[in-house]
Amino acid sequence: MAKKGTTDEVKKILLGGKGIKSKRFIQRNPDIVKNLSAPPIKKFWLNIKGIKTLNNVAKVAYRSREPGVVTNGLNVGLGPLTAILILSKVAYEFAAYFNGIVTSKFYLAILYQDRSQFNFVVLQSVLIMLSTVILLALNTTLSGVIAAKMRLALTRYTHDSYILPLVLNKINMNKELDNPDQRITQDIDKLSQTYANVMTVLIITPALVVYYTVRTWITTGSYGPISIYVYFIVGLIAINAFTPLVSSKVFAAERSEGVFRNQHVILRDQAETISFYGAEEKSKNEADISLVVLVKNQIKVALATFPVQFVYQFFSYFGSILTYIVIGLRFLGGYYDNLPPEDKAGLLSQSSFIIMYLIFSFTTIISGFTDFGKLIGYAVRITQVWEQLDELKKTSKGAYWIEESRNDSIELSSLDVSTPTGVKLITNLSLTVLKGENLLITGKNGLGKTSLLRVIKGLWCPTTGTVALPFKNGSPDVYFLPQLSILVQGSLLDQIIYPGNFYNIMDTPDVTPRALEALKTVGLSHLLKYKSTTELNLNVSEEGKDSADIDPDVSALEVRHDVASWYEQLSPGEIQRLSIARVLFWNPNFVVMDESTSSLDEVAEYDLYSKIMARNITIISVGHKKSLERLHKHKLEILEGCSYNYYPLY
C-alpha cells in the first residue's frame, strides 16, 4: 500500500510542485500512478448488447442524408458502395477459388506432358491472377472510400448535437466523460476504417463455409467437415473468452492516448507562455507521467492480445497440418487406389486447396471476431458521447431566464449567480444599462465578474432572476469579447467577420468594405501587405480578372492561413485589436468586453473605446485598470460575501 500523502504528491507533480521529479516518483509509486489514471473497468462481451451498440452506430451512418454520404450523380452513396464492395468481395472469392484449383491443372498438364494443355493453363492462370489483383485493388479502394464516407456521416451526426449553444460548453465541463474530442476524431476514424472489412468478412465468409463444407464432404466424407467444425468451435470459444479482455484494455488505452495527446496540444499552443514562466520542467513532468500511463496501458493491450493471437495463429498454422491429415486419411484408406498417379496428384492438389480454404474461412471468422471486439470498444466510446449529448439536450431548458428588453437596454432583475457546483457568488443583483451609458464591472479575482457575463450570455443558469437584452432578428443584439480571444483557420476576412460564416454572408455587397474599414480603424492596416503573385492568383475568382485590376487590400484580406500561423503572426495586442475590429464590423447595440484591452496601453485603449462609442455601441467592460473609469458612466463593484456596489462614475 502506498504511503499516506502520496496522492497529494501526484497532484503536486501535475500542478508543478517543487522538488519532485516525475521519473523518480513514478518508480517509487507505480500503484498511485496506476490508480490515478485508471478508468472504470469496462468489459465488452460479444453479446447481444454489444452487437446492438455497434448496430446503432451503423444505422446512424447508413441512414445519414448528409451530402457526400448519399448518392448524388456519379458520387455513389455509402449504402450502394457497401453493396458494391460485397459483390466485389464475392467476385474475389470466385477468383480465389479458380486461382486455387489452377495448380491441380498444372500438375495434370505437366505429369501427362501435354504441351497444349500446359499453354492453356498458363494463359488461364495469368487471366485469373489479373482478375484477382484487380479485385483486391478495387476492394481496398472501396473500403477506403466507405471508411471516409462513414466517418463523414458519424462525425457530422455528432457535430450536429455537439457544437451547439449551451451543449458545447457543458459537455466539455463534464468531467465524467473523458476526451470527447478524441472520441469524435480518433475513435470514429478507427471504427470507420475497420467496419467495412470486418462486416463484409462476417457476411460473406459463412456462405464460403457452406460451399467449402459441401466440397470437403464430397472429397473426404463426413469425418472431414466434422473434424474441421470441432476445430473451429474450440477456437471460437477460446477467442470469445479472451476478446473482452482486449476490448476493455483498448478502452483504457484510448483514454490514456487522449490525455497524452492533450498534453502535447498544450505544449504546442502554449510553448511561448511555458517558456516565459520557465515551466519546461513542470511541463515535462506532466508529459512524462501521461506517457508512462499510456505506455503501461498499451503494454496491457499487447499482453492481453497474446492469448488471442496465440489462439488465432495456432488455428491458422495448424490448419495446414489438419488439411493433410484429413485428405491423407482418405488416400491412405485406399479410397483413390483405382486412379492413376497423375490423377491422384491433381486430385490431391485440388482437395487440399478446398479443405485448406474451408479452414482458412473459419480462421477468417475467428480473426473477424477479434476485430469485432475492438469495433464494439470504439462503438461504446462513441455512443457514450451521443448518450451524454442526448441527456444534455433533454435536461437543458435553454436560456429561459433571458427575455427581450422593451427599450433597447440590458436589465438584470433580482439575479442570483452561483457556480455550477452551487457556490454562491452574487445575490439579488438588479440594475439597468441604458443605451449610451457604459458600465464598468470590477472586483477581486474569483468573486464572479466573468460568471455574471456567463449568465448574461446564457452559458450558466442563475439561481433566481431574469436578464432582459435588446434583440435583433430574433437574437440578442449583444456581442461578447471573452478574456481569451480566438483566431480561426482562414483569411484575415474570416478573422474579422467571426463568428459569422464566410459563405453565408459573402453575398452581402458591403462585407469587404466594412471589413477593410474596421481593420483600418483599429490600426491594423499593416496586415494588408501585398502578397506574392502566386498567393494572389490562388485567391482570384474564375472571372478572368487581370492581376492589375485586383485591389491589393482585398487580395491580402482573402489570403488563407492555418490557426497556428495567425497566432505566430499577431502579438497579443494585435489580437485584441482584431477582436475589437469584429465589434466594429458587426456594429451591435451592446458589446461586453472581458479584459479585452489588457494588452494595450492607455492611449490605444482610449482610442479604441472612443471609436466603439462613436458607432453608438454601448459598452459593458470587465477590468481592473483605473484608466477604464473615464470611459464608463456607471460602475458595478463585486464584493466579497456575495454583495456588490453600484454607483455612477460622473
553 pLDDT tier (thresholds 50, 70, 90): low
Is the pLDDT score of 40 beyond 50? Answer: no
Nearest-angstrom CA–CA distance, 55 and 59: 6
**466-486: per-residue pLDDT in tens?**
999 999 888 899 999 988 888
pLDDT in the model for residue 308: 78
Is the pLDDT score of 586 beyond 60? Answer: yes
121 and 238 inside one domain:
yes
Residue 629 · residue 434 · CB < 8 Å: no
267 and 301 inside one domain:
yes
Give me the mean pLDDT over the 359-386 stretch. 83
Phi/psi-derived region of residue 192, left when phi > 0, alpha when psi is between -120 and 50, beta in every other case: alpha
Question: Among the three residues 355, 375, 396, which one is the final residue of a domain in this structure?
Answer: 396
The residue with greater pLDDT, 553 or 607, is 607
Nearest-angstrom CA–CA distance, 180 and 255: 10
pLDDT in the model for residue 18: 39
Full domain range(s) for residue 363: 50-65+76-396
How buried is residue 441: exposed, middle or buried, by Cβ count under 10 Å (0-12/13-18/19+)? Answer: buried
Residue the block writes with cell 456575495: 642
583 and 481 inside one domain:
yes
135 and 271 inside one domain:
yes
Residue 166 · residue 458 · CB < 8 Å: yes
Whole-model pTM?
0.70
Give me the mean pLDDT over the 213-232 stretch. 86
Residue 26 · residue 299 · CB < 8 Å: no
**429-449: per-residue pLDDT in tens?**
999 999 999 999 999 988 999
Is the pLDDT score of 578 beyond 60? Answer: yes
273 pLDDT tier (thresholds 50, 70, 90): low
Residue 562 · residue 553 · CB < 8 Å: no
The CA-based dihedral angle spanning residues 549, 550, 552, 554, taken in that order and rounded to the nearest 10 degrees: 150
154 and 228 inside one domain:
yes
Residue 499 counted as domain residue: yes
364 and 455 inside one domain:
no
Nearest-angstrom CA–CA distance, 454 and 19: 38
* CATH code for the domain in which residue 416 is found: 3.40.50.300
Question: Among the three residues 359, 377, 396, which one is the final residue of a domain in this structure?
Answer: 396
Chain mean pLDDT for the chain: 81
Is the pLDDT score of 21 beyond 50? Answer: no
Q: Helix, strand or coil for residue 618?
A: strand
Q: Into how many domains does the chain fold?
A: 2
Which range (397-401, 516-520, 569-573, 597-601) has the least confidence? Answer: 397-401
Q: What angle do CA 255, 257, 259 make, to 5 degrees?
A: 75
pLDDT in the model for residue 15: 36
Q: Look at the chain and count its residues.
A: 650
Chain centroid to Cα 296, Å, comes to: 23
pLDDT in the model for residue 30: 47
Give me the mean pLDDT over the 598-606 stretch. 91
Cell numbers for 359:
479452414
Nearest-angstrom CA–CA distance, 232 and 214: 16
**298-316: per-residue pLDDT in tens?**
898 888 888 878 877 887 7
Output Rg (C-alpha) for the chain, integer angstroms. Answer: 34
Residue 635 · residue 647 · CB < 8 Å: yes
Partners of 75 in beta bridges: 72
Give me the mean pLDDT over the 494-508 stretch. 73
CB neighbours of residue 128 within 10 Å = 19
**73-90: per-residue pLDDT in tens?**
888 889 999 999 999 999
The residue with greater pLDDT, 549 or 606, is 606
Give me the mean pLDDT over the 317-327 stretch. 82
507 and 602 inside one domain:
yes
Q: Is the dihedral of CA 31, 37, 41, 44 positive or negative?
A: negative
Give me the mean pLDDT over the 526-548 stretch. 43
